[in-house]
Amino acid sequence: MLDALNHFPRQCRQASQIAAGLRNLPECKDVKRIVFVGVGGSAIGADLVRSYLYFKSSLPIQVIREYELPAYIDSQTLVFVCSYSGNTEETLSAYAQARDKGAVLIAISSGGQLRERAAQDKITFVEIPRGLPPRYAIGYLSIIPLSILATLGLTEEVLPNINQAIKVLEELQQTKINPRIGSADNVSKCIAQELYNKLPVVYSSSANFSVVVRRFRSQLNENSKVLASSAYFPEIGHNEITGWDNPKSLLKKAAIVIFRDNLVNPRISKRIELTKEIIAKETGQRILEVWSRGEDLLSRIFSLIYIGDFISYYLAILYGIDPASTDRITVLKERLKRG
């Protein structure tokens, strides 16, 4: 797991190279919407693409985590089918439906049944390296589709932004968050220590950074084996802020982490500051903040994800558990196979 974390910038660079070498992409001149299908770690890359393009894309982008597809999927829908293993049953079900609806299909996987079906149906298939936990293939599963969308002319050019994001990740890994750096200077170790034996409550601004809290919550679940809560600004100010009353015994064990960015809407920044004041005054809770790095949006999103991934790893170490194991997920899949 530590190798996967340390080599993440290299994965992102390799993903960009894979995307640059793709040929025979489908014709997409009539596409009116973009849909990703996938679940778990195989879908988080799609969330990143959607977050990054939320205000940039002229086409709607949806991420679907279901066996079944909405009725609007048709021949004018570009569907990315994402399954790291290639054997995810929900994704294979959605793939068959998208194919039958005449959607434009691109499949991304390390192999499995998805590769076999893509070859049989003669659709575009992008093979990515195997051997990773699916949640640590986020570089492949975000940068490749993002690059494809740019190549197809459905979004703006992204290669300079990808290259800048990789540089930011490399600098973070080398100088801020790797295990050689002590707790006093390591933001991920500091936050992990604050979350130990606590219930994490994770906030960020929505839209561009919604993927950050979704990713962090799922990494806390899978790596640290910890339950966590997450929500987004500005929505928090219309509901969740009133929930900091009960149950009092549980709230005493909560730890709030806010993923921040200097370039969000100023009104959202104001809402964050006011929410911090209200919660701190009424509950006495200390509020932890993690700030993005880099100049362009893609760098800032990736930097927060990378810091969060290391937090979840260090928290697993504090609990004395293996961050790579996901035994309950394995048991669930095995029991599903038995019918």
Strand partners, 291: 260
Integer Cα distance of 186 and 181 in angstroms: 6
Q: Are 2-157 and 171-319 the same fold in CATH? A: yes
Residue 240 pLDDT = 94
Collapsing DSSP to helix, strand or coil, 24 comes out as coil
Residue 288 pLDDT = 96
Provide the residue ranges of all domains of the chain, joining segments of one domain with +: 2-157, 171-319
Residue 289 pLDDT = 97
Residue 118 pLDDT = 97
Residue 199 pLDDT = 96
DSSP state of 176: I
Distances in Å between the Cα of 71 and the Cα atoms of 19, 58, 88, 219, 227 are: 30, 21, 22, 32, 34
Collapsing DSSP to helix, strand or coil, 34 comes out as strand
Q: Which residues are catalytic?
A: 222, 238, 333
Tens digits of residue pLDDT in 56-106: 999 999 999 999 999 999 999 999 999 999 999 999 999 999 999 999 999
Collapsing DSSP to helix, strand or coil, 256 comes out as strand
Residue 332 pLDDT = 87
Residue 327 pLDDT = 86
**CA neighbor of 271 nearest in space, from 305, 238, 229:** 238
pTM listed for this prediction: 0.96
The residue written with tokens 């750096």 in the block is 181
The number of residues in the chain equals: 339
**b/e map 209-221, b = 16+ CB within 10 Å:** bbbbbbbbbbbbb
Token output for 115 = 């590769």
pLDDT beneath 50: ranges in the chain: none
Q: CATH second-level architecture of 2-157?
A: 3-Layer(aba) Sandwich (3.40)
Cβ partners under 8 Å of residue 21, min gap 6: none
Which CATH superfamily includes the segment(s) 171-319?
A: Glucose-6-phosphate isomerase like protein; domain 1 (3.40.50.10490)
Residue 66 pLDDT = 96
Residue 282 pLDDT = 82
Strand partners, 203: 231, 258
